[in-house]
Amino acid sequence: MPTSRNAKGIDILGYDQTGKRTITVQVKALSKRNPVPLGAEPKNLIAKFIIIARHVAAETPEFFIARTSDIRDRIHEAHKDGKTSYWLQPKDYEGFRDQWATIGNG
């Protein structure tokens, strides 16, 4: 199920088999085709990779995998009631579908 909040920080920390290469991943889960909420500060995207899991409750969820650096220029910003929020539109992440090779091998 999708999370109920947008927590700061890294969700997954991984190492290769030698322990010399580390990867950091932030995961965003969506129940349907929606924008990905990124919270009040895009600088909170501190992991090297982002994985967006869409249709997480369905039999066949979809996955979009990107380097965080590759999505930074695609982040949208909005201001409402004195608050700023950031998100990633579906059209801006859908090109990263099943790009598992972006992370590489262990």
If you write DSSP's letter for every residue of 13-53 in order, what string do you get? EEE-TTS--EEEEEEEEESSS--EEEES-GGG--SSEEEEE
With contact defined as beta carbons under 8 Å apart, do 29 and 66 qualify?
no
pLDDT for 6 equals 56
With contact defined as beta carbons under 8 Å apart, do 64 and 74 qualify?
no
Which of 2-16, 47-61, 66-80 shows the lowest mean pLDDT across its residues? 2-16
pLDDT in tens, 25-51: 999 999 999 999 988 888 778 999 999
pLDDT at residue 7 greater than cutoff 70: no
Which pTM was predicted?
Answer: 0.87
Give me the residue spans of the domains in the chain.
12-102
pLDDT range class, residue 19, cuts 50, 70, 90? confident
Q: Which of the four CATH numbers 3.40.210.30, 3.40.47.10, 3.40.50.300, 3.40.710.10 does domain 12-102 have?
A: 3.40.210.30
pLDDT at residue 22 greater than cutoff 50: yes
